Amino acid sequence: MKRIVIASQNEDKISEIRNPLTALGYEVYSLLDFDIPDIEETGKTLRENARIKAHAVRKITEYTVLSDDSGLEVDALHGAPGVHSKRFSDSTMDEDNNELLLKKMEDKEQRSATFKTVMVLLFNDEREYSFEGSLHGYIHTRQEGEHGFGYDSVFIPVGHSQTLATLGPETKDRISHRRRALREVVNFLKDIA
């Protein structure tokens, strides 16, 4: 049996990633199945952080590891909050991160932004591959919508007129950066099967 560990403790993320891997014949584990100390995400890029997570998990298991890191890059802020998306404001609360972002964008006409996910697949023979998914859009002028998390309430995807938090989970699951990166991983695993 092929075994893979998702390098996350986040149940929503795990359940999103688990199904397509199970369909490919993998026995899927996550960090909820292992006793692992907190992994410090000290990388300067999403890819570095995804690699740090993958290699930290690799130390405690022989299984193949799939890790990910995501963030929001705002063009008018030179790519911020980017790799610091989770801890943009001092409090790390979504609400405060969004307020800080809207404040920094107050006088900006150029409002384009991109959600990005990098996934790293580290095989038990040390082969390593990375995959990316993006979602382009714009920063709204206020928080709007009840669904989702993080910056969903201030982000309007290209081709839509409402925030991700208003559009809801069905639309988001179809177009999200994480889903696009996952599709790349699944296609790759299908090709090498």
Q: Is 85 in the site for ligand IMP (CB under 6 A)?
A: yes
Main-chain dihedrals φ then ψ at residue 180, nearest 5 degrees: -70, -40
Q: Determine how many CB atoms are found less than 10 A away from the CB of residue 99.
A: 17
Rounded to a whole number of angstroms, the minimum distance from the CB of residue 140 to ligand IMP is 13
Q: Quote the CA–CA distance of 72 and 150 in Å, as a whole number.
A: 9
Q: Give the one residue of 30, 64, 70, 166 binding ligand IMP; rule: CB under 6 A.
A: 70
User: Which two structure tokens, joined as six digits, stand for 173?
Assistant: 């699951």
Q: Contact region for ligand IMP (CB under 6 A) — 30-38, 57-65, 66-74, 105-113?
A: 66-74
Q: How far is Cα 43 from Cα 102, in angstroms, rounded to an integer?
A: 26
CB neighbour class for 141 (10 Å; exposed up to 12, middle 13-18, buried from 19): exposed
Question: Which position among 69, 77, 145, 181 is part of the footprint of ligand IMP (CB under 6 A)?
Answer: 69
Q: Which is nearer to ligand IMP, 18 or 86 (CB)?
A: 86
Catalytic residue among 69, 94, 125, 152: 69
Known active-site residue 94: no
Residue 151 engages ligand IMP in binding (rule: CB under 6 A):
yes
x/- contact string, 157-176, with ligand IMP (CB under 6 A)? -------------------x
DSSP letter at 78?
Answer: T
Taking the complex as a whole, the smallest distance from the CB of residue 12 to ligand IMP amounts, in Å, to 10
Give min distance, CB of 63 to ligand IMP, in A: 21
The candidate with the shortest Cα–Cα distance to 133, out of 168, 167, 184, 86, is: 184
Taking the C-alpha atoms of residue 38 and residue 150, their distance in angstroms, rounded to an integer, is 21
Write out the binding residues for ligand IMP, residues 26-55 only, by CB under 6 A.
none
Angstrom distance (rounded) from CA 6 to CA 8: 6
Which residues are designated catalytic? Answer: 69
Binding site for ligand IMP (CB under 6 A): 69-72, 85-86, 115, 148-152, 176
